[in-house]
Amino acid sequence: MGVYDQIKTAFQDIVAPEIKALQGEIRALGGEIHRLDQKVDGTKGELLAQIHCLDQKIEGTNQKLESNKGELIAEIHRLDHTLEGTNQKLESVRNELIAEIRRVDTRIDGVDRWMDNLDHTIRSVMDIRERLIALEAKFRA
């Protein structure tokens, strides 16, 4: 048997069965890869469905927020208008109070003048009384 035949026989006896075994393992791995691809595709489909569902929920929430935003802006404008009216009323009451304070202040000034005049009159009366008492004492003596 020649070298070629020996190598051929060794190859057929040792390497060929290993290659066959590797081919079987490669086929098994191919099947496993195919199964994993299908599983990934299924998971991808589920994830896409969930993402789509979340997108719809987010869109619904955005629409609600936009609707609420409009309502809130309208309410803010209404409150601004109400506050403006309240500010005008407060300014009016403030002006009325200032006018009333000035009126009362004027009356108090008048009462002060009247009290000053009354004090002057009382002092004059007291002075006259003392003089009368002194004159009566002179006439009695």
Which tens digits make up the pLDDT trace of 102-140?
Answer: 999 999 999 999 999 999 999 999 999 999 999 999 888
Q: What pLDDT shows up at residue 16?
A: 83
Domain boundaries, the chain: 1-98
In degrees, to the nearest 5, what angle opens at C-alpha 59 toward C-alphas 56 and 65? 145
The answer for residues whose C-beta is within 8 angstroms of residue 58's C-beta and 6 or more apart is none
Rounded distance between C-alpha atoms, residue 88 and residue 77, angstroms: 17
Reduced to 3 states, what is the DSSP secondary structure of residue 115? helix
List the chain pLDDT tens, one digit each, 141 residues. Answer: 788 888 888 888 888 888 888 898 999 999 999 999 999 998 999 999 999 999 999 999 999 898 899 899 999 999 999 999 999 999 999 999 999 999 999 999 999 999 999 999 999 999 999 999 999 998 887
